[in-house]
A and B are shown apart, each in its own frame.
Chain A
Amino acid sequence: MISVDDKNHPWQESMTVSDLLKDLEDQYPYVVIRVNNKYISKPNFEKTLIPENAIVHLMPMIAGG
């Protein structure tokens, strides 16, 4: 199990950030996701694995300086 924006979500072995976003069926074009307090940018979504019991926050916006 992992936590996604404070809600429980099932975890799978080898689950990537891209897999999670597909699971969520959330159409919003996320740019950055926080996984256990590490920022993962879109270019790295497919290659970043989500560990079991991870705490995930979907970053709604990057607004710039």
Chain B
Amino acid sequence: MAKFNLRDMKTFNYDRPPISKGYADQYLSIDISTGDISIKKVSKEMKKVFIGGKGFDLWLLWNAVKSETKWTDPENALCVASGPMGGTPSYPGSGKSIVTAISPTTGSVMDSNVGGYFGPYLKFSGFDALEIQGKTTHELVILIDGVDQKIQLIESSGLPEDAYELSALLTNHFANGKPRSISVVSAGPGAKNTLIGCLNFTWYDTKRKRTRYKQAGRGGMGTVFADKGIKAIVARWDSVTLSTNNPADKEALKKVSKQHSREIVELDPKQNEMAKIGTTHLVPIMNDFDLLPTHNFKYGQHPGANLIGRDVYQHLFDPGFDGCWMGCTVACSHGVKDFIPFTGPYKGQKVFVDGPEYETIAGCGSNIGVFDPFTIVEMNFYCDAYGLDTISVGTSIAFVMECFEMGLINQSHTGGLALHFGNRLAALELLHQMARGEGFGKIVGQGIRKMKTIFATNYGADVSILQDIGMEAKGLEFAEYVSKESLAQQGGFGLALKGPQHDEAWLIILDMVQNHMPTFEQKAEALHWFPMFRTWFSLCGLCKLPWNDIVPVDNKDTPEPAKVIKHVEWYAQYFSSVTGRQSTPDGLITMSEAVYNFQRIFNLKMGFGRREHDNIPYRAMGPVTVAEYESRQERYDGELMEKYKVDITDKPTEEKVAKLREFRQEQYEKLKDAVYKRRGWTQDGIPKVGTVKRLGINFPEVMEVLKAHGVE
């Protein structure tokens, strides 16, 4: 056990309010520069427009920052919230927290969605949201103790650096014999020394008697946390029942919870088996459809894919209940017990690894040419322990490996590392360097957007090829799906508010395989409703998996199977039964639309949020290189000849690559036009005045931002 000291700097006692219809009706604001702690009211208007969760976070962040605020500025607010349904133990997937802040990699507003117990414990302790501003030079632990009704700012020293040991230690320290009553948020040394840091949110696994972790991975939220000087935030709460959230109609809640919960128990074993294998089933499926990113998204298939999918991980995962919130029947948060890393500070020691999920397998596996399941588990473990986002780590390493193989960088730049695809030891070494802030890993940890500038400016690398193969948009690294053959998914990535993350719109199968949306208008319609459904889950403190990963048997016979309307109806009932605010499936969309448009305008406030910011690298649209084209020549030749009526006889591949590029880029611009029109935005991608008025977000400060950008 590490020797550590915790010194109470300030204790703030408060009276915990009763939860009413899913809300505490107040939020906690802490300025760690001054030590000021205040409790502020949540207004009826705030609940009406922003609902909760991500909506509350965005509103607090909007009021905290100015348009010129940088991510390192003290006023940058790290906000965490659950939502009105967050903390319901009987409804599957009801324990999510949403984190927002100005991002180190995008410079704009970022949101990241995470499991674990923190959000619900924060709310039951009396706070719908937490806002932290300021910075401190000493190590700070913040305790939010809903049991003893006190907030403590604690100066710490000697605590472990990494999240794996730190969270377990703090759980034990504050538990008073009840470790399940504790949830810890922490980052790690990687978060401190890179721009792609994640936050680890814990939950206590009573059967395995250990602290488990989920990550708010995207956009450097862990880096903001570490930059502020925060070591950890600890929430403490007692037992949770259906009544803890004090729902408006407990009987209705019981009924709808039971329906959804039972359906999952019955159907998950016959469908994706998420309770057994998580999301690892996606690896071979994506591979079969040429969608699994390999070698920096160059290809979508590899013979080694079966070595890193469901068939392997079902044997590696430790059997048992793996719900990241109480009573969740999806229970997909699996882990590997007694794993022994072969590199790094835990080399030779037995550890428990939380994961991997699909994104980590594809990012830290196939995309970097690694098809060894154990290396992926090790990458997963160290990313979590160091506080690094597995997606950004994977996509960034894939980028530097391709740069290395193309000769854009060499061993004199990489500190001697031969960064060939598949060099698993080099990938792990980069990861350890990122955590230490040393060597070439320090550069990789800046993320792809900054690396492109460094490689061009310092190493003389070709700017245009860096733009084509550097898989980032808005400054965020791409999530792990090949979008070349799905225009709708290109929009799903490129038009996503925070950058190319799949949690906003995942349309590949519907578009590319099932051809559900052949026209621009149909794609635009899908790029309207899908992000709205997904946004709604983040407003309410919910996980999206129960919506459409396990679906009713008769769903395929409904007019629009992709919407899983039976579940949407249940969600409307769920919302009404908790909040007492009657809702319908269409009502859920409208709630999301208000917050979604507000976030778009927030981007605009920060200097982004226009058409040009929705651009994506060409690698996301089509084949950049001759080798890529020729690997799928039949497909691309066919497209040129049949769709675009191009005579390709005797044309060299270079010419065909250029021609296809011209057409595909034009298609993407047309998609933008269609989506902007459907969303009620100008052709520059800015919400129109009529749109913001219809959605009730026409606050004076919002209208000022629009006016400053020529929209009035």
User: Residues of A with Cβ closer than 8 Å to B?
Assistant: 5-6, 26, 28-29, 31-32, 34, 39, 41-44, 57, 59-65
Minimum-distance CB pairs A-B, first 4: A41-B288, A64-B506, A28-B556, A63-B548
Contacts of B357 in A (CB 8 A): 65
A-B contact pairs, 24 of them (CB 8 A): A29-B514, A31-B514, A32-B285, A34-B270, A39-B281, A41-B285, A41-B289, A42-B289, A43-B288, A44-B288, A57-B270, A61-B271, A61-B562, A62-B282, A63-B506, A63-B548, A63-B549, A64-B282, A64-B502, A64-B506, A65-B358, A65-B359, A65-B481, A65-B503
Considering only CB atoms, which chain A residue lies closest to B548 in the complex? A63
Does the CB pair A61–B513 fall under 8 Å? no
Q: Which residues of B lie under 8 Å from residue A63 when comparing CB positions? A: 506, 545, 547-549
Does B2 belong to the interface (CB within 8 Å)? no
Cβ of B122 within 8 Å of any chain A Cβ, yes or no, is no
Q: Is the CB–CB distance between A5 and B556 below 8 Å?
A: no
Q: Could you tell me if A60 and B513 are in contact, using CB atoms closer than 8 angstroms? A: no
Q: Point out the residues of chain B lying under 8 angstroms from A59, CB to CB.
A: 271-272
Cβ–Cβ contact A28 & B506, under 8 A: no
Q: Is the CB of B508 within 8 A of A64?
A: yes
**Contact among A34, A41, A65 for B502, CB-based, below 8 A:** A65
Residues in chain B near residue A44, CB distance under 8 A: 288
Rounded to whole angstroms, the CA-CA distance of A62 and B555 in the bound complex is 13
Chain A residues near B551: list those with CB within 8 A.
60-61
Measured between beta carbons, the chain A residues less than 8 angstroms from B514 are: 29, 31
| Cβ distance A61 to chain B, nearest Cβ, rounded Å | 5
Are B279 and A65 interface neighbours, CB within 8 A? Answer: yes
Task: Select from chain B the residue with minimum beta-carbon distance to A40.
Answer: B288
Q: Does B479 contact A (CB under 8 A)?
A: yes
Q: Decide if B561 is an interface residue (CB 8 Å cutoff).
A: yes
A contact residues around B481 at 8 Å (CB): 64-65
Flag B222-234 by CB within 8 Å of A: 1 or 0 each: 0000000000000
* Chain B residues numbered 489-509 whose CB sits less than 8 Å from any CB in chain A: 502-503, 506, 508-509
Assuming the contacts A31-B514, A62-B285, asked whether A57 and B506 have C-beta atoms less than 8 A apart, the reply is no
User: Is there contact, CB below 8 Å, between A60 and B281?
Assistant: no
Residues of B within 8 A of A6 (CB): 270
Min C-beta distance of B577 to chain A, whole Å: 25
- The chain B residues found within 8 Å of chain A, CB to CB, are 270-272, 279, 281-282, 284-285, 288-289, 310, 357-359, 479-481, 502-503, 506, 508-509, 513-515, 545, 547-549, 551, 553, 555-556, 561-562, 564
Roughly how many angstroms separate A40 CA and B509 CA in the complex, as a whole number?
Answer: 15
Q: Counting chain B CB atoms within 10 Å of each CB, which of A39, A41, A44, A62 scores highest?
A: A62
Given known contacts A62-B285, A63-B549, A65-B357, is B270 in contact with A31 (CB within 8 Å)? no
Instruction: Name the CB-closest residue of B to A43.
Output: B288
**Residue ID in chain B nearest A64 by CB atoms:** B506
Within 8 Å CB of B515, what residues of A? Answer: 29
Contacts of B359 in A (CB 8 A): 65
A64 neighbours in B (Cβ, 8 Å): 282, 481, 502, 506, 508-509
Residues of chain B within 8 A of A28, CB atoms compared: 556, 561
CA distance A5 to B270 in the complex (A): 8
CB distance from B497 to the nearest CB of A (A): 18
The docked-state distance in angstroms from the alpha carbon of A59 to that of B268 is 10
> What residues of B have a CB within 8 angstroms of the CB of A34 in the complex?
270
The contact of A62 among B310, B503, B509, B556, by CB within 8 Å, is: B509
Most buried by B among A31, A44, A59, A63: A63
Task: Note all chain A residues with C-beta closer than 8 A to B553.
Answer: 5, 60
State how many angstroms separate the Cβ of A45 from the closest Cβ of chain B: 10
A60 to B555, CA, bound (A): 8
CA of A32 to CA of B287, assembled, Å: 12
CA distance A21 to B236 in the complex (A): 53
Q: Is the CB of B555 within 8 A of A43?
A: no
| Given A61-B549, A63-B548, A63-B549: A31 and B509 interface contact (C-beta under 8 Å) | yes
Per the bound structure, the CA–CA distance linking A36 and B515 in Å amounts to 28
Please report the C-alpha to C-alpha distance between residue A42 and residue B514 in the assembled complex, in whole angstroms.
10
CB distance from B513 to the nearest CB of A (A): 6
Q: Within 8 Å CB of B513, what residues of A?
A: 29, 31, 42
> How far is the CB of B597 from the nearest CB of chain A, in Å?
24
Q: How far is the CA of A63 from the CA of B502 in the complex (A)?
A: 11
Which A residues are in CB contact (< 8 Å) with B480? 65
Query: Contacts of B556 on A, CB cut-off 8 Å?
Result: 26, 28, 60
Of all chain A residues, which has the CB nearest B291? Answer: A64
Min Cβ gap B391→A in Å is 10
Distance A41 CA – B513 CA, assembled complex (angstroms): 11
- Counting chain B CB atoms within 10 Å of each CB, the highest count among A5, A26, A59, A61 belongs to A61
Closest to A6 in B: B270
Contact of A39 with B548 at beta-carbon distance under 8 Å, contacts A5-B270, A61-B561, A65-B479 already known? no
Which chain B residue shows the least CB distance to A58? Answer: B556
A17: min CB distance to chain B, Å? 13
A58 to chain B, nearest CB (A): 8
> Are B289 and A60 closer than 8 Å at their CB atoms?
no
Given contacts A39-B310, A41-B288, A61-B271, 10 further A-B pairs with CB under 8 A are A6-B270, A29-B515, A41-B284, A57-B270, A61-B551, A61-B555, A61-B561, A62-B272, A63-B549, A65-B358
- Min CB distance A56 to B, Å, is 10
Instruction: State how many angstroms separate the Cβ of B609 from the closest Cβ of chain A.
Output: 25
- Give, as a whole number of angstroms, the nearest-CB distance from B93 to chain A: 13
CA distance A31 to B508 in the complex (A): 12
Find the B residue at minimum CB distance from A59.
B271
Q: Nearest chain B CB to A49's CB is how many angstroms away?
A: 17
Which residues of chain B come closer than 8 Å to A42, judged between CB atoms? 288-289, 513
B556: nearest chain-A partner, CB-CB:
A28
Complexed CA–CA distance, A64 and B555 (Å):
17
Chain B residues lying within 8 Å of A26, measured Cβ to Cβ, are 556
Given the complex of chains A and B, what is the CA–CA distance between A14 and B87 in angstroms? 52
B356 to chain A, nearest CB (A): 12
CA distance A59 to B480 in the complex (A): 22
Q: Which of B480, B502, B513 has the most CB of A within 10 A?
A: B513
State in angstroms the CA–CA spacing of A29 and B270 once bound together. 18
- Residues of B near A5 (CB, < 8 A) are 270, 553
Separation in Å of the A22 CB from the closest CB of chain B? 17
Nearest chain B residue, comparing its CB with the CB of A30: B556
Interface centre among A6, A32, A42, A64 (most CB of B within 10 A): A64
Q: How far, in Å, is A48 (CB) from chain B's closest CB?
A: 11
The CA of A26 and the CA of B556, in the complex, are separated in Å by 10
Which of the listed residues B270, B480, B515 has the most CB atoms from chain A within 10 Å of its own CB? B270
Nearest to B501 among chain A residues (CB) is A65
Q: Are B271 and A65 in contact (CB under 8 A)?
A: no
